[in-house]
């Protein structure tokens, strides 16, 4: 069983000078219940379906399963998704130890929100926090993409 371990932060400064890659992402949720979110996503030129389980007590880890599927199938499945498709650009920013931050800049109803995540090999794994990294929001459900479609940033 795959396990995702990540920490999430607000972005409080300019990170774009350190970006090595950027990708447009459009995603929707077939199920957004916390016990099992089912997401479909177009990431660049590829399509994916992802299932995630409920988070740990800290909110930093949870089960994750993902499979690549054809983009046209994602487009069809987006028609069945719950209201509130997420549009964002993901920027990759390397971290000195070899890890990387994935910084998501949101559009549409979530315009103005920028969040950084770092995937870790263990919940207590150390990493260098760049100056542009702001408040930690790991485990705060309102920052989950599945919640941003229901309660977008513009309504906060």
Q: What is the pLDDT of residue 108?
A: 96
Nearest by Cα to 147 from 71, 26, 156: 156
H or E segment and range at residue 77: helix 71-78
Q: Domain of 43? A: 3-155
Q: List the pLDDT tens digit at each of the 156 positions of the chain.
A: 588 899 999 999 999 999 999 999 999 999 999 889 999 999 999 999 999 998 887 878 889 999 999 999 999 999 999 999 999 999 999 999 999 999 999 999 999 999 999 999 998 999 999 999 999 999 999 999 999 999 999 999
Task: Give the chain's domain count.
Answer: 1
Q: What is the pLDDT of residue 41?
A: 98
Q: What is the C-alpha separation between 38 and 123, in angstroms, rounded?
A: 24
Return the bridge partners of 61, or none: 5
Cβ pair 82, 148 in contact under 8 A: no
CATH number at residue 89: 2.40.320.10
Return the bridge partners of 29, or none: 39
Q: What is the pLDDT of residue 1?
A: 54
Is 29 annotated as catalytic?
yes
- State residue 153 phi and psi, 5-degree precision: -55, -35
Q: Say what the pTM is.
A: 0.92
């Amino acid at each position: 069983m795959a396990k995702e371990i990540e920490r999430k932060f607000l972005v409080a400064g300019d990170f774009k000078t350190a970006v090595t890659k950027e990708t447009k992402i459009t995603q929707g949720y077939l199920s957004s219940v916390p016990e099992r979110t089912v997401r479909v996503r177009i990431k660049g030129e590829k399509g994916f379906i992802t299932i995630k389980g409920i988070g740990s007590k800290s909110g930093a880890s949870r089960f994750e399963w993902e499979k690549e599927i054809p983009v046209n199938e994602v487009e069809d499945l987006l028609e069945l998704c719950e209201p509130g498709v997420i549009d964002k650009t993901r920027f990759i920013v390397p971290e000195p130890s070899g890890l990387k931050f994935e910084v998501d800049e949101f559009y549409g109803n979530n315009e103005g929100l920028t969040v950084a995540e770092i995937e870790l090999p263990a919940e207590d794994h150390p990493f260098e926090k760049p100056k542009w990294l702001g408040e930690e929001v790991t485990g705060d459900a309102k920052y989950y993409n599945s919640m941003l479609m229901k309660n977008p940033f513009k309504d906060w």
